[in-house]
Copies of this chain bind each other. A is one copy, B any other.
Amino acid sequence: MSVFDFFQKKKTAPVARERLQLLLAHERISPGSDLVSILREEILAVIAKHVEIEGDRLQIRIDRGENVSILEIDVEIPAKAARAA
């Protein structure tokens, strides 16, 4: 399964919207460090600088496994906003 399949398998946005999906995985040695939560706000701020984010079109999920934490951000972008990029 290639990474394209991972992103394809999710319901693609209706034609009039583009979509931005981000996955961030931190494979830790020590349980303490919470890099994923630290990076979350700043990465969101970077994305928000370049695309129009509507509250109900944004999904954020954090999975904290024993050694791996994963941040998932999924944004549907109004097509006109994306074209400005």
Secondary structure of the A contact surface, majority rule: mixed
Copies of this subunit: 2
Indicate if A21 sits at the interface (CB-CB under 8 A).
yes
Chain B residue with Cβ nearest A74: B25
8 Å CB contact of A82 from B4, B29, B46, B83: B29
Write out the residue numbers on chain B whose beta carbons fall within 8 Å of the beta carbon of A24: 20-23
User: How far apart are the CA atoms of A68 and B85 in the complex, in Å?
Assistant: 15
User: How far apart are the CA atoms of A43 and B51 in the complex, in Å?
Assistant: 14
A residues whose Cβ falls under 8 Å from a Cβ of B: 1, 3-4, 6-8, 12-13, 15-30, 32-35, 38-39, 42-43, 46-47, 49-51, 63, 65, 68, 70, 72, 79, 82-83, 85
